[in-house]
Amino acid sequence: MIGVQTLDEFIIRRQTDFPYATGELSRLLRNIALAAKIVNREVNKAGLVDVLGSTGYRNVQGEEVKKLDLLANKTFIASLELGGHCCGVASEENEEFIAFEGSASLEGKYIVAIDPLDGSSNIDVNVSVGTIFSIYRRVSPLGHPCTSDDFLQKGSEQAGAGYVIYGSSTMMVYTTGHGVNGFTLDPSIGEFCLSHQDMSIPKDGKTYSVNTGNFYNFPEGVQDYIHYCKSFGKDTGSPYSARYIGSMVADIHRNLITGGIYIYPSLEGYPAGKLRLVYECNPMAFIVEQAGGTATDGHIRILDIKPNELHQRTPIFVGSSEMVSKAQEFLKDGKK
């Protein structure tokens, strides 16, 4: 008895729960896990070899591209193309989606949208970063290149979603619509091992994650909610805690376990917020909802938003359902 259940074993075991599953999604998840292990190896030695720092150019978002961003992007794209079950990838680092042209890929049933290394501004200061991925069944015909329609589906159509957090340990957390499970990488055997089964976010919490440095650029309702959080418990000695790492994956992962809310609202200069719908907000919303939480743009469910553009942004309020509900009370009457 080896005493652990690896990701591979878990995926295979869960697949038997779905007799009509043909195994492609399972194998695609394993392709993602392989890429995550390679990226983890590079993230863990970032300070030792020349992968720190910037490439000197900016991505489609106008954001400075770190060397690890580039490495992570290439690694995930290569693993997905070689895996043969994915017909194309959209990435934060690429202006257009990539349609794979190999004969196996053209028959691939799935597409993947990915933020290969989120929070990369933290890389040079050794703070947690993450990968976020979203999986859809293609809507374009098999045997042909994928199309933009494949990538612009509502988040509610996702076949799977997950994240990898490269932190004090490296974890992969994912859902295929039947709950959320977390796997911790055991470097001694090179396997992701089941460590957080059937993850469930507390309905309420006392942690709020928002960049209060932008406070005076936030809508009035968000300012009012932040005031509410700051004053909560001042008479009972049980206040809220402000926790904001600058890495969405790390903040949401912590709140998923302890309870809490993560907010990136609209603000001066970012009328639709900063975070991207397709490869950041939709996958994180799918995961949090599957764990029993809530994700909205302040008014409507994130997963119900129809994307029109690959890199479009959306405000996001995501986490414990009672905290998101309370925050939305402050956003009524146009105070969004």
Please give the residue ranges that form the binding site for ligand P6P (CB under 6 A). 118-119, 121, 211, 246-248, 274-275
Rounded to whole angstroms, the Cα distance separating 115 from 165 reads 12
Are the CB atoms for 181 and 192 separated by under 8 Å? Answer: no
Rounded to whole angstroms, the Cα distance separating 137 from 151 reads 10
Which one, 87 or 275, has the nearer CB to ligand P6P? 275
Which one, 86 or 316, has the nearer CB to ligand P6P? 316
Which one, 106 or 323, has the nearer CB to ligand P6P? 323
Kind of pairing between the strands at 261-264 and 207-209: parallel
Output the smallest distance, CB 228 to ligand P6P, in A. 20
Output the smallest distance, CB 244 to ligand P6P, in A. 7
Rounded to whole angstroms, the Cα distance separating 158 from 124 reads 33
Output the smallest distance, CB 128 to ligand P6P, in A. 10
Which one, 7 or 285, has the nearer CB to ligand P6P? 285
Angle between the N-to-C axes of helices 7-15 and 24-44, in degrees from 0 to 180, rounded to the nearest 10: 170
Name every residue whose Cβ is closer than 8 Å to that of residue 237 and which is 6 or more positions away in sequence. none
Which one, 150 or 280, has the nearer CB to ligand P6P? 280
What kind and span of H or E run contains 316?
A: strand 316-319
Which one, 247 or 320, has the nearer CB to ligand P6P? 247
Which one, 247 or 294, has the nearer CB to ligand P6P? 247
Amino acid at 78: A
Output the smallest distance, CB 316 to ligand P6P, in A. 10
Could you tell me where the DSSP H helices lie in the chain?
7-15, 24-44, 67-83, 103-106, 148-151, 220-231, 248-258, 282-290, 321-330
Q: Give DSSP secondary structure letters for 82-135.
A: HHSSEEEEEETT-SS-EE--SHHHHT--EEEEEEEEETGGGGGGT--EEEEEEE
Which one, 176 or 209, has the nearer CB to ligand P6P? 209
Output the smallest distance, CB 147 to ligand P6P, in A. 27
Rounded to whole angstroms, the Cα distance separating 278 from 256 reads 20
Output the smallest distance, CB 183 to ligand P6P, in A. 21
Output the smallest distance, CB 144 to ligand P6P, in A. 33
Output the smallest distance, CB 248 to ligand P6P, in A. 3
Rounded to whole angstroms, the Cα distance separating 38 from 320 reads 32
Rounded to whole angstroms, the Cα distance separating 6 from 292 reads 25
